[in-house]
Structure 1
Amino acid sequence: MARIGITGHARLVGETTELVYGAVVAALRPYAGSKLHGITCLCDGADQIFARAVVDSEGALQVVLPAADYRDNIIDRDDFDHFLSKAIQVATMPFRYSNRQAFRAASEELLRRSDVLFAVWDGEPSRQLGDTADVVAVARDLGVPVVVVWPAGAQRL
């Protein structure tokens, strides 16, 4: 079984969503099928793009929610609800409210469950605790291999 986690930017602009989707599908191709388990927090942007790619690749989704109120902070709740309904397993971290500590804890749990981490990342440093570069650094410290997915032409806010 291939257990692949995701971290990445939430605010992607222009055609970046489709560029990232194509790049993630290509990166998942060697793992596609019933042995693929994608692990995500279902954040807007990269996480939901990854969830779509996993489902389209006939893989299974595992979801790690940062806090009990997490859904309230999601912009695209329809996609969030759709992918959450597809999950074979959902875990919620023991935080009542979404905050930087909850995001970091959820990412650490995601990394514990992952054999490899896909990072939809432009290579820039994190702006806040639990942002993409922060999660990549933790993954590397834990020895989790990181595959950076940032196709030519991709942009974020």
Structure 2
Amino acid sequence: MRVGGTGHRLLHAETARMVERALHERLARLPADVLVGVSSLADGADQLFAEAILALGGSLEVVLPASRYREALPAECLGAYDRLLASATVVERLAYEDSTSEAHMEAGRMVVDRSDVLVAVWDGHPARGVGGTGDVVAYARKRGVPVEVVWPRGAAR
């Protein structure tokens, strides 16, 4: 089963812990031998999703929005980004040079288009900018891709 992951960046520490547990619980219900996660590896929910996929024995495919994507990520998440990227079985880099909202939206579309279901770490609010979680969820719903929202009680942004 191909599972796309999308979600909020810049999660508070306690929210990140709650989301990590919720993702593990949700993804553990799927058979690991056929579990493929698709992610863009942004800081926050995307990296937590990718970590959960690998921890459960699944494989990881990555869609990178831009050639300079890594440079746009917070320094504290680069170690995890590099490790997850090295663990990916497939890496696709989009043609964008800079990590723009347009590049993020295109990567989000590709994650959805390559997935049987989208797991969204989402508070239910509209995207704060083009290419945000709300936009990716809306795209998935428009395409008929099932969306499973993960937003634990007590989580905050």
What is the TM-score when the length of structure 1 is the normalising length? 0.96
- Matched residues in 2 for 1:48 and 1:98: separation? 17
Residue matched to 1:155:
156
- Alpha-carbon displacement from aligned partner over 1:114-135 (angstroms, at most 9, x marks no partner): 0000010001111111000111
**Residue 25, structure 1, aligned to residue 24, structure 2:** yes
**How many correspondences in the alignment?**
155
**Residue 142, structure 1, aligned to residue 137, structure 2:** no
- Alpha-carbon displacement from aligned partner over 1:23-60 (angstroms, at most 9, x marks no partner): 00111012141210000000000000001101110000
What is the TM-score when the length of structure 2 is the normalising length? 0.96
Residue matched to 1:10:
9
Residue matched to 1:107:
108
Instruction: Specify whether residues 131 and 38 from structure 1 end up closer, same or farther in structure 2 by C-alpha distance, changes over 3 A only.
Output: same
The answer to whether the 8 Å contact 1:67/1:97 transfers is: yes
2:84 counterpart SS class: helix
Residue matched to 1:89:
90
- Matched residues in 2 for 1:146 and 1:85: separation? 27
**Residue 98, structure 1, aligned to residue 60, structure 2:** no
Residue matched to 1:40:
39
Alpha-carbon offset, residue 12 of structure 1: 0.8
Alpha-carbon offset, residue 139 of structure 1: 0.3
List gaps (5 residues or longer) in structure 2: none
List gaps (5 residues or longer) in structure 1: none
The answer to whether the 8 Å contact 1:32/1:58 transfers is: no
2:126 counterpart SS class: coil
Percent identity between the aligned chains? 45
Q: Which runs of 4+ in 1 moved over 3 A?
A: none
Residue matched to 1:68:
67
Alpha-carbon offset, residue 72 of structure 1: 0.6
